[in-house]
Each structure stands twice: as C-alpha cells, then as structure tokens.
Amino acid sequence: MEQRRPNPVPQLVSCLVLAGVTSALWAAWLGWDQQRDVHADGSTTGPYEAWQVIGLVLTLLVLVCWAASRRYAAGVVAGVTVGLTASAYYDWSDDSSGLFVVGVGMVMVGSLAVTSALRAVIVSVKRGGGAVTGL
C-alpha cells in the first residue's frame, strides 16, 4: 500500500498569512504610538498604554484560536511568533542602547511559548469533543 505524504503548502500559506496579519495587528494597535510620556517628576513611561497591549493580545487570541481550531498547528505557532518578532524588531530597532534585542528576544520566546500552549489546549479540546478531561 502506498502512503500519501501530507501536503505542506496549506501550513506554509497559513504561516505566511498569519505572520502578515499579526504584523498588521501590531501596526494597528502599537505602531502609531511612538511618544514616551514624561511625568512631572521627570520619569517617563510608554510608548504604549496598557489598553493597546491588551487589545493586541485579545485580538491575537481570537486569531490563534481560529487558526488552531482549523488545524493550522505549525502555521499558527510559527506565523504569530514570526509576525510579532519581526514587528518588534522593526519598531524597536532605532534604540541606540542596543537593549531592544533583549526585548525582541523576550517577545519571541513569550509568543512561541504562549501560542504553542494555546494551540495544544485547543487541539486537545477539539479532539475530546469539547470537554477538557484530566484537569
């Protein structure tokens, strides 16, 4: 009997599309705010407000859930991670201290861990008929 190999094209396309959508969401939520807020005591915060980051995370949560439920496992993990990492690098690369690389690395590791875990949960829930068992 001949065994068919899985077609990698849908996963590759989903990875590229999700990376592009993730970069667009970064631009929509965080890309327009580049000014740091200077307070009366001289301290600075920003450039992003908490609601912007929360909005990006919630929007990405919907995107990851949708893609993982349609079995684009590799695409969702790689696409969102690549999109966030590339966007952070582009947005933060003008930092003269060079510490932006640490932040970009943290974005990469964090998004990889969270999307992997979320994908695993969604896939296991879908296989189990909607109920999480053994917790």
CB 17 within 8 A of CB 79: yes
Cα 78 from Cα 18, distance rounded (Å) = 8
The two counts, helices (H) then strands (E), for the chain are: 4, 2
Total residues belonging to the chain: 135
Cα 2 from Cα 35, distance rounded (Å) = 60
Residues 6+ apart with CB under 8 A from 31: 87, 91
Cα 52 from Cα 57, distance rounded (Å) = 9
Q: Beta-strand (E) ranges in the chain?
A: 37-38, 44-45
Cα 49 from Cα 53, distance rounded (Å) = 7
Assessment of whether the complete model's pTM goes beyond 0.85: no
User: Within 10 Å of residue 116's Cβ, how many Cβ atoms?
Assistant: 14
47: which DSSP letter? S
- Residuewise pLDDT in 10s, the chain (135 residues): 577 777 778 888 989 999 999 999 999 999 887 777 787 888 877 788 889 999 999 999 999 998 888 878 788 899 999 999 999 999 988 888 889 999 999 999 999 999 999 999 988 888 775 555 444
Specify the residue for token string 């994908």: 119
